[in-house]
Amino acid sequence: MALVLPGIWFFLLGAAMGSFFNVLVDRLPEGRDCISERSACSSCGTQLRWYDLIPIFSFLIVKGKCRYCGAKLSAWYLVSEITVGLLYTGAFLRYSASADLVTLFADIVLWSLLFIVAVMDWKTGMIMDIFPILIAAAGIVVSLIRQRSILSILLGGVAGAALFGILYLLAKLILKREGLGLGDVFLLGAVGFWLPAVQVIITSFLTAYVALVFILIKAVQMKKIGLKTEFPLGPSICIAAFIMCIFGERISRFITGILLP
């Protein structure tokens, strides 16, 4: 019972942040103000009141429709608020098990940034430079607090950037076009500042498997895809990084046990 009320608080905090993250994803690529600009219905343009912006509850109360014009609202708003709420609750539960404030801070910061990048890349096909920079900076700070050596931190970042950097160059040489964007290279490099180099390498392979799932889903939706079909890799990197953040040590031990029995 001691965890219930704090858990609810973190869920509500995450839901509120999920609502704000949607604002960032919608407005930043367009260069719009994310703070002072009032939210409005995308169909009728009516400015929303405070009671229209209560995370989760407002969507449920109006049954997924604009209360002013009746236009159907995207279910993504509800899904994203619940998802981030669950992420924050998970971060709290990980902290409560070890009483490690660094774990709580690290999870909330990293998972929030990964969520924004994944959604933005999926929707727009773009990874804004500021987010890999923020991920890298936060990773360096957290890693130093955890007393990782500077060499280990740098090796992780270099390993991430080098792995996808090589793939980027090979794609340009062989396919005569970008097989993946520089944003993907910078993103994996930024994630590398959070993880040991071995786990970064595993993350790159795990990214391929996650991407394969997305490709199969897209193939079903589009009926036909080819080598020239554009596909955002950012969400796959973010999901792989999220998995390694939680299970990295276990996965590393498992793979090491197979390779070095």
Question: What is the rounded average pLDDT of the residues 216-221?
Answer: 76
pLDDT in tens, 142-192: 999 999 999 999 999 999 999 898 888 887 787 677 667 889 999 999 999
What are the Cα distances from residue 107, in Å, to 15, 55, 76, 163, 219?
16, 21, 23, 24, 33
In terms of DSSP H, where are the helices of the chain?
4-27, 57-61, 76-98, 101-124, 130-145, 150-174, 182-192, 197-222, 234-259
The pLDDT, as a whole number, for residue 207 is: 95
DSSP 52: G
pLDDT in tens, 96-140: 877 788 889 999 999 999 999 999 999 998 999 999 999 999 999
Give the model's confidence band at 228: pLDDT under 50 very low, under 70 low, under 90 confident, else very high. Answer: low
Give the model's confidence band at 35: pLDDT under 50 very low, under 70 low, under 90 confident, else very high. Answer: confident
Residues 60, 51 contacting (CB under 8 angstroms): no
Q: Is the pLDDT of residue 70 over 90?
A: no
The pLDDT, as a whole number, for residue 76 is: 92
Mean pLDDT of all residues in the chain?
A: 88
CB neighbour list of residue 128: distance below 8 Å, 6 or more residues apart: 28, 29, 120, 183
pTM over 0.95: no
Output the six-digit token pair for 218: 């897209």
Q: How many residues belong to the chain?
A: 261
Output the six-digit token pair for 99: 């009483």
pLDDT, greater one: 3 or 88: 88
